[in-house]
A and B are shown apart, each in its own frame.
Chain A
Amino acid sequence: MTENEYKNNTKTTAGSAVPNGSKYSEHDLDRYRRTSLIKLFAMGAALILLIVVGTISWFTMNREVENTSLQMTAEGAPFTIYTRSGSGTYNDVYESLETGGMEWQISSDYNFDNHENAKKEGETEPGIEPGDHGILEFRVSPNNDASITVDCVFDMKAYTETITLGANNTPVYTVTEMSDSSLVGYVKAHLMLFTGVDPNTGKYTGLIGNDETLRRVLEDQTYTRNNTAYTKIYWVWPEHLSDLTSNNDSAIIYAPSERSAVISYIANNKDGFFKDCNDSISKVSTDLTTLASSYNSTIYNHYNMKYDNADLDIGNNVSYVLLSMKVE
């Protein structure tokens, strides 16, 4: 019964809210109003709950929430990462891993040796090995502001592939992430990242080193909304230790100005660069500095063997590697 129905049913005499002979009393009317009010509040509460649930994702995703007077404004996704438009050769395997990341798409020129064109002569499938190098590209586009400054954090994971026999003796390939910290350490260290190449000498510049928390970070990169230029990341897996330590500037793969940064990076990551390296960081640093000034076969062989053994361990145990870049 609505209030109108109620009123229509209760033609009252003047001065009295309760009609003579009416089936509803003033008490009933009060009760009806109270009930209506409760219903209204309940609906309001339900609506508020719905709105809160509906917007909870907004609040969880936002890093910046402004409160201006009584109006609350929330910003949208702060940026979008753009890569090239092609999928890698091993995308099916990657998708099956469900890492939660987005595929770093590639092109024939810019890839992680995961493009058909990265195959060398006589090879049936692309892939990386010591001595390989290439370029990956990405750009960040701010969604809300004209420009945005971000840190790009790089990390690597190693995966191993095991083959078991499934139904009808068909092989079943299982790719699992490796937890062996030594192996993952070798992968992280031996795949080095640079931000540029000297156009005159072709040597790498701008080593992407570790920050104080030992993450590989490219700090404070500013991107503007309408700039469509890609940022290039030069990855390289040095084949020989001498590519990094030679005293001959023409024999190293990076610009001589990077030498101290590279030596300090190797020393700080000695357990990744060298297998079973019991020397202290300062000893490694001193030895590599010695090698950088003049070749010493005893020192070189000591580290070269450990470097090659780490490479061998990667090759013998790791099936796939994943290079991730998180923008934050």
Chain B
Amino acid sequence: MKRSIEKFRKLSLPMKIQFVVALMCTLALPAYAWFAFQDRIEAFTKVKEPPSINLASGGDDPALYITLENIDVSVGTDKYIVFSIEPGKYSAYDIQLSHTTNIPFTYKLYRVQEDANGTIEYTDHTRNANEETELKYSIITTAAGTTSGEVTLTDINPDDMSTGRYLGDENDLSAARKNYVDSDDVNMYVKPLYSVARSIPQLNENDDGSADRDYFAIRIIWPPGTSSITYTDADYWNYAFNNKETDLIYISAKQNSVESP
């Protein structure tokens, strides 16, 4: 011990400092090991966003491009509006249409697919950058759950003859409530019609369970006599006095996968 102390005293100052530092490190390491002693382990991961179901327009367009513009009742008797559902991982879904009944159109829903020989036209804005692409669609007449491609819409609040309720029928209303009969007054008591098609199976299922788009077309029909509201006046659609020009259609989609309880 004495010799060790003598040796230490003979060391130069820098060496003494080195020795003390080395000694401190030796003591500190076991102490650090204690503080670093772990009794808890933790696994950390990301939560994925919930699967969603999206509405989109035709082609590759987003829902922004769904439009009911340019319906000219003097040309033809119907018009198709193409839209699509992105069902994500859901194997089936409901589509609900609700529409105001200002104009007595009839609405039908069809499953459609892109088909160069089709007759339903859609102008795509997304597929080719900065360029419009004319696409054609045809009805999938063999689609499961359809009648020759038509998806059956069930009215949730149908016209009901037994109660004398004819939604959208102006004849059922007093003159003061008729649309535009008196200047620009509209029938404020007309209720929207709700129709729903349930558990529509997704087509085009991908390997991972997600699907690309399922395309649909809403067929808006206006020939007199075949509309849901029967008009005897064949000129009804063509005359300028029919200045009712605004209706709204709401399309909504909801997951409805068949789940075995």
Contact A54 B41 (CB under 8 A): no
Contact B208 A61 (CB under 8 A): no
Closest CB-CB distance, B192 to chain A, in whole Å?
26
* B39 within 8 Å of A (CB atoms): yes
Contact A246 B261 (CB under 8 A): yes
A91 to B42 alpha-carbon distance, docked (Å): 11
* B210 within 8 Å of A (CB atoms): yes
Closest CB-CB distance, A188 to chain B, in whole Å?
13
* Contact segment of B7-15, B46-54, B153-161, B226-234: B46-54
* B38 within 8 Å of A (CB atoms): yes
Contact A315 B49 (CB under 8 A): yes
Known interface pairs A127-B47, A315-B48. Does A325 touch B41 (Cβ–Cβ under 8 Å)?
Answer: yes
* B206 within 8 Å of A (CB atoms): yes
Q: Contacting A251 at CB < 8 Å: which of B37, B47, B260?
A: B260
Q: Contacting B45 at CB < 8 Å: which of A113, A121, A297?
A: A113
Q: Which residues of chain A have C-beta atoms less than 8 A from B208's C-beta? A: 120-123
Contact A316 B42 (CB under 8 A): no
A93 to B43 alpha-carbon distance, docked (Å): 12
Contact B43 A122 (CB under 8 A): no
Q: Contacting A311 at CB < 8 Å: which of B42, B46, B50, B260?
A: B50
- Interface size class on chain A is 35 or more
Known interface pairs A57-B34, A102-B38. Does A128 touch B206 (Cβ–Cβ under 8 Å)?
Answer: no
Contact B42 A322 (CB under 8 A): yes
Contact A90 B259 (CB under 8 A): no
Q: Which residues of chain B have C-beta atoms less than 8 A from A319's C-beta? A: 46-47
* B129 within 8 Å of A (CB atoms): no
Closest CB-CB distance, A144 to chain B, in whole Å?
13
* A138 within 8 Å of B (CB atoms): yes
Known interface pairs A81-B38, A102-B38. Does A93 touch B206 (Cβ–Cβ under 8 Å)?
Answer: no
* A240 within 8 Å of B (CB atoms): yes
Closest CB-CB distance, B118 to chain A, in whole Å?
29
Contact B261 A322 (CB under 8 A): no
Contact with B along A301-328 (1 / 0, CB 8 A): 0000000000110111011111111111
Contact A312 B37 (CB under 8 A): no
Contact A104 B45 (CB under 8 A): no
* B2 within 8 Å of A (CB atoms): no
Contact B34 A77 (CB under 8 A): yes
Q: Which residues of chain A have C-beta atoms less than 8 A from B20's C-beta? A: none
Look across to chain A and name the residue whose beta carbon is closest to the beta carbon of B27. Answer: A54
Contact with A along B20-40 (1 / 0, CB 8 A): 000000010001011101111
Closest CB-CB distance, A179 to chain B, in whole Å?
17
Contact A325 B40 (CB under 8 A): yes
* A58 within 8 Å of B (CB atoms): yes
A327 to B42 alpha-carbon distance, docked (Å): 11
Q: Contacting A126 at CB < 8 Å: which of B35, B41, B45?
A: B45
Known interface pairs A57-B34, A129-B50, A328-B39. Does A88 touch B45 (Cβ–Cβ under 8 Å)?
Answer: yes
* Residues A33-92 near B (CB distance < 8 A): 54, 57-58, 61, 77, 79, 81, 83, 88-91
* A199 within 8 Å of B (CB atoms): no
Closest CB-CB distance, B93 to chain A, in whole Å?
15
Contact B34 A90 (CB under 8 A): no
Q: Contacting A314 at CB < 8 Å: which of B38, B47, B51, B259?
A: B47
Closest CB-CB distance, A223 to chain B, in whole Å?
13
* B207 within 8 Å of A (CB atoms): yes
Q: Contacting A240 at CB < 8 Å: which of B35, B206, B210, B259?
A: B259
Closest 4 CB pairs of A and B: A315-B50, A127-B46, A114-B45, A104-B43
Q: A54-B31, A61-B34, A77-B33 are in contact. List 5 more A-B contacts (CB 8 A).
A: A104-B43, A126-B46, A136-B43, A315-B50, A323-B44
What is A's interface to B at a CB cutoff of 8 Å?
Answer: 54, 57-58, 61, 77, 79, 81, 83, 88-91, 93-94, 97, 99-104, 106, 111-114, 120-123, 125-130, 136, 138, 240, 242, 246, 251, 295, 297, 300, 311-312, 314-316, 318-328
